[in-house]
Amino acid sequence: MNSQPSLARHLESFFHQRLTQQRNATRATVAAYRDALRLLVLFASERTGKKPCALAVEDLDRDMILAYLDHLEHSRGNCVHTRNARLTAIRSFFQHVAAIDPASIGVAQRVLSIPSKKSDVPMPHYLSRAELDALLDAPSKSSPCGRRDRVLLLFLARTGARVSEALCVEAADLSLNGARSHVMLRGKGRKQRVVPLASDLVAAIGNLLRESGIARHEHVPVFVGARGERLTRFGATHVVRRAVATASERMPELARKEISPHVFRH
């Protein structure tokens, strides 16, 4: 008889079977769901006094989930969008629980009935042409890191790509052939789309590939860190913050704006 608590078994099967094998979820989705459920398990462990490995499905009842969601907003400072994203991961897990464990259907139904929280939709932030030009001019042109930063910022601005899409681009995804130049972007849910590339971006990418010693058709990332590994989302955010800090010296209004990689998409 398996003495492993049902919650541990269900979490294991959720990630290894439902997400990976059945849904063929992307690495980003798996990581987001893992973080949401990890935080929930730690929260429930602290509330119940049980070790995480000793928790049962019944410990994650509706009241526990609601308390966790309030904790995200009031203690961790998460916005409503993040709260709802965490709830989406929890719902997906409990749909899995309901399908494989009939004894837990009641708990699952009560959790699945928790509604998403409504919020006001803020006006999107955007950059003026002068502000964008100032940010593009901010990275140092005398260092490989600075030249990479400029190409990344230019890529985000010219293609409207999500930061995750930009960081996933490999040399093989690029076609740098004059007026027909384009890039294959892989978005949410494994959706693909082809985006044309402006001439200044084509030239900048070509220079970056030559400087990095990357052949056009190699399956290697275009945007890499200091050690040659694929640049992370945190790294891209740092690139933007560094550009904002430099550009703000001659355009102080930039320091008063909330500028993230996603703002370039707007």
Judgement on whether residues 148 and 88 belong to the same structural domain of the protein: no
pLDDT for 45 equals 96
| Closest by Cα among 47, 122, 31 to 79 | 122
The last residue of a domain, from among 112, 147, 172? 112
Task: Please report whether residue 222 resides in a domain.
Answer: yes
Judgement on whether residues 43 and 87 belong to the same structural domain of the protein: yes
CATH of the domain at 47: 1.10.150
**Cα(192)–Cα(187) distance, rounded to whole angstroms?**
6
Judgement on whether residues 146 and 49 belong to the same structural domain of the protein: no
Could you confirm whether 180 is annotated as catalytic? Answer: no
pLDDT band of 124, cuts 50, 70, 90: low
**Cα(130)–Cα(148) distance, rounded to whole angstroms?**
21
Residues 6+ apart with CB under 8 A from 32: 85, 89
Q: Which of 110, 230, 242, 265 is catalytic?
A: 265
Could you confirm whether 162 is annotated as catalytic? Answer: yes
Judgement on whether residues 59 and 168 belong to the same structural domain of the protein: no
Q: Which of 188, 210, 241, 250 is catalytic?
A: 188
For residues 215-224, give the mean pLDDT.
89
For residues 187-215, give the mean pLDDT.
90
Judgement on whether residues 82 and 172 belong to the same structural domain of the protein: no
Task: Please report whether residue 160 resides in a domain.
Answer: yes
Judgement on whether residues 107 and 202 belong to the same structural domain of the protein: no
Task: Please report whether residue 45 resides in a domain.
Answer: yes
Sort strands 174-175 and 192-196 into parallel, antiparallel or unpaired.
unpaired
pLDDT at 54 over 60: yes
CA angle 266, 239, 225 (to 5 degrees): 125
Judgement on whether residues 237 and 144 belong to the same structural domain of the protein: yes
Judgement on whether residues 66 and 105 belong to the same structural domain of the protein: yes
CATH of the domain at 257: 1.10.443.10
Task: Please report whether residue 36 resides in a domain.
Answer: yes
Judgement on whether residues 104 and 151 belong to the same structural domain of the protein: no
Judgement on whether residues 98 and 137 belong to the same structural domain of the protein: no
Question: What share of the chain has pLDDT > 90, as a percent?
Answer: 75
Q: Is the pTM of this model over 0.85?
A: no
Could you confirm whether 27 is annotated as catalytic? Answer: no
Task: Please report whether residue 123 resides in a domain.
Answer: no
Collapsing DSSP to helix, strand or coil, 188 comes out as: helix
Judgement on whether residues 87 and 210 belong to the same structural domain of the protein: no
Task: Classify residue 79 by its DSSP letter.
Answer: -
For the chain, give the longest Cα–Cα distance. Answer: 70
Judgement on whether residues 78 and 177 belong to the same structural domain of the protein: no
pLDDT for 13 equals 94
3-state helix, strand, coil in the chain (%, to 5): 65, 5, 30
Task: Please report whether residue 122 resides in a domain.
Answer: no
Could you confirm whether 188 is annotated as catalytic? Answer: yes
Q: Which of 9, 71, 91, 262 is catalytic?
A: 262
CA angle 260, 92, 160 (to 5 degrees): 25
pLDDT at 71 over 70: yes
Structural domain count of the chain: 2
Task: Please report whether residue 121 resides in a domain.
Answer: no
Task: Please report whether residue 26 resides in a domain.
Answer: yes
CB 71 within 8 A of CB 43: yes
Query: Can you give the residue range of the structural domain that contains 228?
Result: 129-265
| Closest by Cα among 203, 193, 186 to 151 | 203
